[in-house]
Structure 1
Amino acid sequence: MGARLWYEGAAWTVVQLDGSTVLLRSVDRFLRVHAPALVGAARPLDDPPHEGGPHAELDAVILAGLTSAQRARIEVEAEIYNQLVLALSDVPLEQRYEQAAVKLKISPRSARRRATRYVERGLAGLVDSRLLQPSHRAVAPEWDQTCREVLDSYTDRSNPTMRTVLRRTNALYLEQNPGAPVPSQSVAYERLRELDKGRYTFGAAKQRRSVAERPGGVLGRMRADRPGQYVVLDTTPLDVFAMEPVTGRWINTELTVAMDLYSRCILGLILRPISTTAQDVAAVLFQVVTPQAWGPPSDEDVPAPYVGVPETLLAQESGALPDTIVVDHGKVYLSLRTRAVCQRLGINIQPAIPHKPTDKPAIERFFRTLRQQLLEHLAAYKGPDIYSRGKNIEGQAFYYVPELEAILREWVRIYHHTPHRGLCDPLLPWVELSPAEMFARGMATAGVLRLPASDDLRMEFLDVAWRSIQHYGVEIDGRRYDGLALNLHRGARSPHGGAHAGKWPIMVDRDDVRTVYFQDPDTRTWHDLEWEHAPGLDAPLSAEAATFTRKLSQQTNRHVDAGAALDDLLARYSKGAVTGRREKNLARRLAAQPARDNAAPAAGDVPAVIDLSAHLERRRAQAQVADDLDVFEQYYAQHPDADGLEVFDE
C-alpha cells in the first residue's frame, strides 16, 4: 500500500490490494489490474531505466557470451576474492588486496576496483566489457543501405558477379553522398557476403525469388488433426528424360501429386508429358477417392493408405514456373470439371497466399526427397537445371512415360514405409514414424473415413462427348467404338435435351482412348465400348498420342511413285533442304551407290539416281500382279468368251 509505480507511461500509487488484483490511482484516475501483470511492466519511480547504461544487458546474457576458457578464468578470480578479500580475516584489507593482486598479476588498485564490482554484480562484474564488444568495420551505414538496395534489384534478374554488385553499389553511394569514402576492396567483399546472407543473390535464381516472396513476419503452419482432413495437390516438372512410346518424341514430363498433410502419404500420382491439364487433375482426384495399389502386387502387401473423400483440398500448381500459382489463378485446378466434382463431393478448394511457396512445405520436401532418393539414380536423370546436366544424357538409357510412372509408383510404396524426421507423435517425440505408421495412428485415433456414396463416382472425373449412335457404333475424334450395349439404341435419339438434344453422353478417358463408357438409360448401368483398333495395342494410348500419330500419317510430300520420291529426295538433298537425320542418311547412301551398267555416266549426273530410275522403269514395263483386280483383268484377257466370275462376299 502506498507504493509508487511507473506503469504504462504514467506514475501510479497503490491504494488497494485485493487478493490478486491491485487498484492504482494517478491523480483522479483509477486502474484495477491483475497483480502478476505488473511483473516486468511496472517499475519503482526511484529506479530509472538503464537504457544504454553500463548494466543494460542481463547478467545471464553477459556470462553466456563468454567462451569456456574465459568463464573459467573469471571463476578462478572470483574464488580468489572470496578467500582473500571477502572472507573474515585479521589481515588488514589493503594487505589482502595486495595479496589478491599478486595472485592475479594485476595492480592493487585494479584488484580493489574489480573486487568492488564483484561485490555489486557478482561474476558479471568481473567480465571485461571489451570481450563482448562487436567488431566495427569502416563501413558507413549509408553504404550498407545502398548495397541492400542493389541486392534487392537482382531478385528477378539473372545472377550477377560480386564485382558487378560492388561497382554498382559504389557508384550509387557516391551519387547520393559525393566525396564520401568507400570501403576498401577486402572490406567491401566481406561486408557484401554478410549482407547477402539469406538472399542467394549469387546462388540459385529460383531459390532467390522464392526467398524474396517469403513472408516477413511469423511463419504460420497449417496443421491437420487426422488423415484426410487436408489434401495438398501440386505439380512439378520431372528432372528425367522420357520418351512417348507411340510418337517416339523426347518430351518433358510433369508430375502431379496429391499428399495427405497429416501423414505425408501419397494418395494420388500421375505423370503426364509436356504439361498438366485439367483432365490430369481430375485423374489425380479420382485416385484420391479410390483405393490405390502402389507397385506390383506381392504376398506381403498391406492395404495402401485410403482416406475416402477428403474434407478439404488445397490445390496449388508450380509447373515450370518458379513461383506458386494460387488456385484462384490456376486454370487446370479451376476447370469446370474440377469445380463440379469438388462441389458434388463436398470438397473445399482453399486458396493459398499468392506467391508463397512456404504454404506447402511438406509437398515441396517430398519433391526433393523424390529427386535425391530416386531420380538421381536413373540413367536418364538430367539434373534440376541446365547447369547440372551431364553430357549427351539423351543418348543414354531412357524410359517411356508409362515405364517412368510405374517406377514412381513402386518407389512410393518404399517411401510410405521409410521413417520421416518430420513425422512424430507428441507423446513419443523420440520415435521417427513412417507415413504409413503415422496414417495408421491417425486413423486409430480419429476413426474418420468419409466414403463416396455412389458407384458412379469414377465417371464424374471423365470428359463427356455427345455423339449419335450409328449402325457401326459411335465415332469420337475419328475413332469408332462399339459394344453389345448399343444394340438396343442404334439409330435412336437420346432422351437428353439441352444444348445436345438427341445425342448420347459418352464418357471418355483422355489418358486411355482404347475404351469409352456408355450408360444404359434403362438399367442405369455402365458398359465399356471398345475402339476397333484397340486389340492391336498392348498399352494405354492417350488422346494426344492418337492425334499426333494421325498427323504423321497426313504429312505432305507423300509420293505414290517410288522413283519420283527418290528423285525428289536427292534434289532436295543437293539444295540443302533436307534437315532430318534419317533423310540425310538415306540420301547419302543413294548418292554413294556405284553404277551397275557399263556405260559411263554423263558429267554432273549422279550414277545412283540414273541407275535406280532406269531400274524402276524396267520394273514398270514388266507385267505385274498388283491386286485382285489385275487378276480379273488378266483372266478376261485370256478368256474373252467367258460369262464372268462369281464372287462370294463374306
Structure 2
Amino acid sequence: MSELKRPPALAVGHRIQLQGQVRGVLEVTAQAAVVEDANAGHRVVALIDLFEAPDFEVLFQPERMPLPQVGLLEAFPPEAVKQALWWEGHILEVLHGVVPAAEHGTQPRPGYGPGSSVTSRERAKAAELAAAGHAVAAKTIANRRRRYQAEGLVGLADRRPVRRRAEFGSVPEAVVEAMRKAIKEGVDTSTRNGAYLIWRTGEILREAGGEAELPARQTLYRLLAKLTKGTHATGSAVTRRSKAHGANAPFGELTVSAPGEVMQIDSTPLDVMVRLDNGVIGKVELTGMIDVATRTLSAAVLRPTTKSVDASVLLARTVTPELMRPGWVDALKMSRSVLPHRRLLTLDERLEHAAAKPVIVPEMIVCDHGKVFISRNFRSSCRFLEIDFQPTHKGAPFQKGHIEKMLGSVALMFAQFLPGYTGRNTDQRGRHPEQENVWSLPELQDLLDEWIIAKWQNRPHDGLRDPDHPGRLFTPNQKYAALVEACGYVPVALSGQDYVELLPSAWRAVNSYGIRINNRTYDSPELGPMRLKDSGVTAKRGLWEVHRDPYDVSYVWVRDHRGDGGWVKATWKHLNRAPVPFGDLAWDHVSHQLPKATEEELAQAVADLLTRAHAGPGRAAGKKDRKPKTGAAKDGRRIAARTKASAPTVPAPAPEPPGDVEDGPDVLDEAEGDLAEVIPLGLFNPLEDPWGRS
C-alpha cells in the first residue's frame, strides 16, 4: 500500500544526513538550505534536491505521522471504521500519554506520565483493557501501534472486507495468456461463442506443450467474462474490430472555434425501403456532412449508390442556403430562428427566403478511404473550393467520430418512424417491410431535409456545452449564432456558374423535342440553335454536355459548345404537374410579420413531420372530398396555382426575378372549383336493343 508522507520539517540547528555525512543546518530559506560542509565550511543546497537525495534524513527528530487516506476508509464497513476509531484513541494515549480529547494542561494518568517508556505504556494499556473485559496482549497493542504510525487510521481497520484479491483468482498464468491469445485470434474473424474460445484455449496450451491444466468449466467462463469485457468478442464483428484496432493512448481532442474549420463527411446505407425511379423497392445510401464546431448537419442526400459526383454536389449544397419549400411551417424560417438572420441578410441576399439552417464554408474536410471520397472528382472539387482534404488512417473510424455518431442518430431518430424501416440487421427486421406504403426517393429526400431543419438543428447536443456552465446545452443553431459573432461570416463561396460546374454531367443529343434524361424531357427556347446539331466534341460523338442536380429534377443545364461555353437552362416539360419550389408570389402571400418561432411551434412541427412520414405517401381517394372549402384553403390553392405559373426560385447561373403573372380566370376557376364526380361509360353492345334500355 502506498504511503502519503509530509515533507520533513527543517529548521536551523537540526542535524541531517546527506551524502554519507552528518551535517548541521545553518540557514533555511524558501528555496534552499545552507548546511555544513567538511571541505568548504558551508554549502547551499536546493530544498527539492535535498529532499530527493537517496540518503537524506533528519536525525534526532520524532517520527511524523503519514497523511491519513481518508478516501480509502469509505470502502470499509461502518463497523470496521467504528472499531478503528476506538483503537485510535487508545493508541494515541500510548504514544502521547494523554487521550486525544483531553483538555490542554491535562496531566497523564499513572503509567503514562513522563519517564515511562512506550513499552511500559503498552503493558499498562493491555492491563487496562483486560480489566475492562477486552483480553488483549501487550504484543497486539505494539503491533497496532506500529501499523498506526506507518499507515494511520487505515492500519487499525479490519482489512478482510477490502482485502485485495488476485485479478484472476487461482487460475494459472499460462491459462490466462492462452485465453488472451484465443481472443486476439478472433478479432478479424467471424463471431464465435464462448465455448469455441474455451476450446481454442485448450488447443493453444497443448500446442505450446505446457503442463497447466484447465480449471473447471465454470471457472473458465468467469475468466472469459473478465477478459472479454468491453471487447465484443462474442458480439458484433464490426464493433469488435473497431475496438481492437482503436487507439490505446488517450484520445486527443481537436480544438475548433469557427464554423467550417473542420468538417467530416461519410456515407452509410439507410435502414429504410424506398421506391426508386424505376418503381423497384430497394435501399439507398445516406451521405452527410457535419460541422464539428457547431454540430450542424450542413447537407445530407440520399442516393441508390453514392458516387464521386454525389460527394461534389454535397459540397455545393453545403455552401448554398436551404430554401423554404411548400408545406413547411413558418417556424422553420431562418428569420424566425435564433440565427442572426437580419445581420446576415445584409451580407448575403440569398438568405432572404432561407430555412433555419446555417450556410457554412468548409476549410478542412475529414473523410475515410472510401473510393467516393478519395476519387479524383471529389479531390478536384475540394481543390477548386480551396478546401484542405484530410483522409483518416485506414481502419480508424474514431478519427471521424462526429459523422459516425450523426449517421447512427439519423437511423435512430428519423428512419425508424418511416414505413419500410428494416432495422440495423436481419435480427431486427420485420416481415415484408417492402410491402408497406414506402416513400419514393424524392419524397423521402424532402422529408429528410425538413427533419434536419425542424429537429436536428434545434436539438440540444451533448457535445455543445457551455464551458462556464456545463449543465447548459446548446443547439447547433445556437452554437452557430454564438460563434459567428466572434468568427464572422463568409457569405458566398460559389457563383451560379460554379454551382453548375460541380453538378454531375451527362452527354445527350438535343432533339427536336428537347433533351431526354432518365425518361424526363427538358426543353427551352434557348435550345433552338442546338436542336439536331453536332456539338463539335468529337470525343463524345457530337453530343452536348448536360449538367443536372440529382436531387432536383426541375431543371438541367446544357453547355453551349458552339457559342461562348456558357450554360443554357432547360425546364422539365411536366414541371407544372409536379410540386415546385416556392416563388416570390407565394412568399408575398405568407410574408406577414410573425414573432420568433417558439419551442412549442418547433416541437409541433417535428411531431407533424414524424406523423406524416410514418403514414407514408398519400393514396388516391376513391371519392371526392365533399367538405366545404374554407376561405384560407381557397386562397392557398389560388396562390399555388399562380406560383406554378410564375418562375420558381432555384439555383441558376443567372437567376432572374419572377415576372408578374396575371390572374387568369381559367387557372383560378380550376384551382377553386371542386373536382367533378367521375361517371363510367357503359360498353356498346351491337346485339342489344337500344330501345329496351331503361
The TM-score bracket by the shorter chain reads 0.5 to 0.7
- Distance across 2 between alignment mates of 1:138 and 1:277: 57
Q: Is contact 1:290–1:306 with CA below 8 Å preserved after alignment?
A: no
Residue among 91, 95, 119 paired with 1:81:
91
In the other structure, the counterpart of 1:234 is 266
1:259 aligns with 2:290: yes
* Superposition RMSD in Å: 4.1
1:92-491 alignment, distance < 5 Å: 92=111, 93=121, 94-100=123-129, 105=134, 107-109=136-138, 110-128=140-158, 130=160, 131-135=162-166, 137-244=169-276, 246-273=277-304, 275-293=305-323, 296-303=327-334, 304-314=356-366, 316=367, 326=368, 329-412=369-452, 413-449=454-490, 451-452=492-493, 454-465=495-506, 473=514, 481-488=522-529
1:135-184 C-alpha deviation (Å, 9 max, x unpaired): 46221111111101111111122221211211111122133244422111
Distance 1:193 1:121, change over 3 A: closer
1:91 aligns with 2:110: yes
In the other structure, the counterpart of 1:44 is 54
User: Counterpart of 1:112 in structure 2: which amino acid?
Assistant: A
- Distance across 2 between alignment mates of 1:437 and 1:75: 55
Distance 1:523 1:176, change over 3 A: closer
- Distance across 2 between alignment mates of 1:249 and 1:39: 83
- Distance across 1 between alignment mates of 2:457 and 2:579: 30
The unaligned stretches of length 5 or more in structure 1 are: 7-13, 24-32, 48-54, 317-325, 541-621, 623-650
What SS does the corresponding residue of 1:438 show, helix, strand or coil?
helix
By how many angstroms is 1:499 displaced? 5.5
Distance 1:343 1:104, change over 3 A: farther
What SS does the corresponding residue of 2:461 show, helix, strand or coil?
coil
- Distance across 1 between alignment mates of 2:280 and 2:541: 40
- Distance across 2 between alignment mates of 1:149 and 1:56: 43
By how many angstroms is 1:108 displaced? 2.8
User: Counterpart of 1:221 in structure 2: which amino acid?
Assistant: E
TM-score in terms of structure 2 length: 0.64
Q: Is contact 2:289–2:300 with CA below 8 Å preserved after alignment?
A: yes
What SS does the corresponding residue of 1:146 show, helix, strand or coil?
helix
Q: Is contact 1:242–1:380 with CA below 8 Å preserved after alignment?
A: yes
Distance 1:181 1:214, change over 3 A: same
Deviates more, 1:111-120 or 1:417-426: 111-120
1:191-249 C-alpha deviation (Å, 9 max, x unpaired): 110001121111112111111121122212223111111111111111122222x4221
What SS does the corresponding residue of 1:159 show, helix, strand or coil?
coil
- Distance across 2 between alignment mates of 1:218 and 1:103: 57
Structure number with greater CO (CA < 8 Å, separation at least 6) is 2
User: Counterpart of 2:153 in structure 1: which amino acid?
Assistant: L
- Distance across 2 between alignment mates of 1:330 and 1:346: 21
1:21-60 alignment, distance < 5 Å: 42-45=52-55, 59=69
Distance 1:297 1:388, change over 3 A: closer
1:602-647 C-alpha deviation (Å, 9 max, x unpaired): xxxxxxxxxxxxxxxxxxxx9xxxxxxxxxxxxxxxxxxxxxxxxx
1:292-322 C-alpha deviation (Å, 9 max, x unpaired): 24775322234223244211112x3xxxxxx
Q: Percent identity?
A: 26
Distance 1:509 1:158, change over 3 A: same
- Distance across 2 between alignment mates of 1:272 and 1:153: 37
By how many angstroms is 1:492 displaced? 6.7
Distance 1:534 1:405, change over 3 A: closer
User: Counterpart of 2:312 in structure 1: which amino acid?
Assistant: A
1:376-429 C-alpha deviation (Å, 9 max, x unpaired): 333422211111222333333422223332332222221211212221121222
Distance 1:360 1:86, change over 3 A: farther
1:81-115 C-alpha deviation (Å, 9 max, x unpaired): 34676535223223333434677946233233213
Number of aligned positions between the proteins: 503
1:254-288 C-alpha deviation (Å, 9 max, x unpaired): 11111111111110010112x21112212211110
User: Counterpart of 2:447 in structure 1: which amino acid?
Assistant: I
Q: Is contact 2:284–2:303 with CA below 8 Å preserved after alignment?
A: yes
User: Counterpart of 1:258 in structure 2: which amino acid?
Assistant: M
By how many angstroms is 1:251 displaced? 0.7
Q: Is contact 2:172–2:212 with CA below 8 Å preserved after alignment?
A: no
The unaligned stretches of length 5 or more in structure 2 are: 1-11, 20-24, 35-43, 58-64, 100-106, 112-120, 335-355, 582-685, 687-694
- Distance across 1 between alignment mates of 2:519 and 2:439: 29
1:451-600 alignment, distance < 5 Å: 451-452=492-493, 454-465=495-506, 473=514, 481-488=522-529, 504-512=544-552, 515-518=555-558, 526-531=567-572
TM-score in terms of structure 1 length: 0.67
In the other structure, the counterpart of 2:114 is none
